[in-house]
Amino acid sequence: MAVFPLPQLEDNAVLLPSSQTNSTQPQLCDVWRDIQGAHNWNGLLDPMVPNLKAEALRYGNLAQLCYDAFDGKSYSKNYGTCYHSKRDLFNKMGMSESGYQVTKYVYANTNLLNQVFGEKPKDQGVWLGFIAVCTDPNEIRRLGRRDIVIAWRGTQTAEEWIEDLRDILVPTRLSYRCKRTGKNQEHHFADGVLIERGFLSCYTSTVRHRQGAAGATVNISTRDLVVSEIERLIQVYEKEMDNLSITFTGHSLGAALATLSAYDIKQMLCTKHNFHQIPVTVFAFASPRVGNLAFAKRVEEIGVKVLRFVNKRDVVPKVPGVCMNENVGCLSKLLHWLPWTYFHVGFELPLHNNSPFIQQTHNLAYFHNLELYLHLLDGYVGSKQPFSWSGRDHALVNKSCDLLREKYEIPPKWWQEQNKGLVKGPDGKWTQPSEEE
């Protein structure tokens, strides 16, 4: 198998953090709308301004948290859930200073493939991420607004890999409740919009959801769970409408779901009086293509701002639509109606594998790893600039990979759960703990 050599830099190029973070840059609270893409990141990407890099890394860390907190062990009785409760998630995952409070967990259901792969069925579906809101006054002051964030996990289970491969475009018919009449209405301004079947199936899947302290359960789609929670939070903070933002983030499948759900939420906001002004932004890492040309145009028309970070050697952002996509030119626009003609959305920031921390590799899967993405983003200055380390711990690269040079003495795939999740009880016996509430 071919080995892909990475560009080499002198070791002293990364001994000190980047000096970009100087005192002359404006405070985030004064420029947050630009950082969220109000002007399509014009003049902010190449070279990348420190505020934007810091915010992109912050949202990328939230996407990574969705991987780290997911119980994907097939032998676990809590398989498919989050290790921690909503109340404890940030504390247990070392992000107690985030300033956010989790308000809802997001689940999706792909149980139809259980019999094929032997996956354990979960009535409530598989945990895919969370919705959180910034509640800390100091963080709100730093951000310049109250932020609602929706973070999505990428592909982890065999079922989700199959969903990723269902790459035929299908119509999306999403209805929104009219505030004036209280009825669900299907809006036809989305005519012609097509979405990849697997992503749409995951987003609209039905799960069993427990409501309230009484524990009553109802059937609800993943999409309705997200939309209803965003509607609720907007109503809670309606008086802060002028300083409220909604930010989506995710990696791989999670990036696709972040883009799809951001489009859906913005469509919903457009149907409600004065809500359309709330900025909706997506920070997407390693996102595959999500929809067709009509989808890409509609995302732009309604004002969803999408910034896609792409490792140039990662194959996932090149699919689906390998043969017919936005790079083909006029032919793809002429054949936009075909169920396999895809178009990327938003703005792309290419990341180069020019880090001197990284060794040569022939494992293409490593180029898709989110921690590698965040490492490359941390060292990104501009498209023609060498890697300039900004201080992010390089050991994180080897969390689930074997990419760091041996001289750094970081073992490969070091992120492990202690005792495979077993805990020792008062009787001296080791057992699996019950799922946290």
Provide the annotated active-site residues.
252, 314, 368
CA–CA separation, 219 and 210 (whole Å): 9
Q: How far apart, in whole angstroms, are the C-alpha atoms of residue 2 and residue 5? A: 9
Residue 408: C-alpha distances to residues 12, 355, 403, 414 (Å): 14, 13, 11, 14
The string of DSSP codes covering 56-73 is HHHHHHHHHHHHHTB---
DSSP conformation class of 111: G
Count of Cβ atoms closer than 10 Å to residue 320 Cβ: 24
CB 356 within 8 A of CB 8: yes
Question: How far apart are alpha carbons 167 and 195 in whole angstroms?
Answer: 9
Q: What is the 3-state secondary structure (H, E, C) of 199-225?
A: HHHHHHCEEEEEECCCCEEEEEEHHHH
